[in-house]
Amino acid sequence: MSHHTRGRKAAPQPIADAVRKVPPAPKHWPVAAKKEWKRVMPVLVERRVLSQGDLHAAERFCEAAADIAAARAAISESKEYIENARGELKRHPAFATLREATAESRRWAAELGLTPAARSRAGVHEDDEDNPLDL
- Give the Cβ contact number of residue 86 at 10 Å: 6
Q: Looking at residue 7, what is its pLDDT?
A: 58
d(CA 50, CA 15): 7
Kindly report the average pLDDT of the chain as a whole number: 85
d(CA 26, CA 94): 25
Domain definitions of the chain by residue range: 31-117
Report DSSP state, residue 47.
H
Mean pLDDT of 9-34: 90
**CB contact set of 135 (below 8 Å; sequence gap of 6+):** 109, 114, 115, 116
Res. 125: pLDDT tops 90: no
Q: Which of 122, 105, 116, 97 has the alpha carbon at shortest distance from 12?
A: 122
Q: Give pLDDT tens digits for 60-101.
A: 999 999 999 999 999 999 888 888 889 998 999 999 999 999
Q: Tell me what percent of the residues of the chain surpass a pLDDT of 70.
A: 79
